[in-house]
Amino acid sequence: MSAARINLAETNIVSPIDGTVVARDVEAGQTVAADAAPLFLVAADLKVLRISANVGEKDIGDIKPGDKVSFEVEAFPNRAFTGEVTRIDRSPQASQNVASYTVVISAPNDDLSLKPGVRATIRIGIGHAPGGAAP
């Protein structure tokens, strides 16, 4: 019994970054191995969220990094949020013979009102009208 107490006293699970735990895949008191799958998902900075959106192959050709994005979430039905396309994955995901691409969007969240994992309805302002104005 004393060996177990010594081992426990010398055991620490430490995150490599400061942040907020957004998912936990281990319970208090559970035995874990050193090579176990990730125990926690830690978000480094919730003041800037990264949103992953699936875009169909029909529309992906019109989207480019830097395009402006607006979106809403159910938790704030009367509030519009904004962001910007930061990455477009080159490898499609196929589901039921339909290809889609992951578009990554960065969105400011200074007041921390948006939480990881919330679902959003997204509009991407694609292309530019003559004179440089966004549509």
Stronger pLDDT, 21 or 85, i.e. the higher one: 85
**Cα–Cα dist 93/89, whole Å:** 10
**Cα–Cα dist 122/77, whole Å:** 13
Q: What is the DSSP letter of 26?
A: -
Neighbours of 66 (CB within 10 A): 8
Confidence of residue 30 (pLDDT cuts 50, 70, 90): confident
For the chain, what are the domain ranges?
A: 2-43, 48-132
Residue showing tokens 């090579």: 35
Stronger pLDDT, 80 or 116, i.e. the higher one: 80
106 exposure class (CB count in 10 Å sphere: 0-12, 13-18, 19+)? middle
Q: Are 108 and 43 within 8 A, CB to CB?
A: no
Average pLDDT over the chain, rounded to whole? 82
Stronger pLDDT, 23 or 125, i.e. the higher one: 125
Confidence of residue 23 (pLDDT cuts 50, 70, 90): confident
Average pLDDT over residues 46-63: 91
In total, the chain counts a number of residues equal to 135
Tokens of 101: 């691409």
Identify the pLDDT of residue 109.
Answer: 93
- For 48, the 3-state DSSP assignment is strand
| pLDDT of 133 strictly over 50 | no
**Cα–Cα dist 85/15, whole Å:** 29
Identify the pLDDT of residue 135.
Answer: 38
- For 21, the 3-state DSSP assignment is strand
**Cα–Cα dist 104/54, whole Å:** 9
Most confident of 16-25, 80-89, 124-133: 80-89
Identify the pLDDT of residue 127.
Answer: 58
Helices and strands in the chain: count of H runs, count of E runs: 2, 8
Q: How far is CA 95 from the centre of its chain?
A: 21
| pLDDT of 48 strictly over 50 | yes
Q: Which CATH number fits domain 48-132: 2.40.30.170, 2.60.120.260, 2.30.42.10, 3.40.640.10?
A: 2.40.30.170
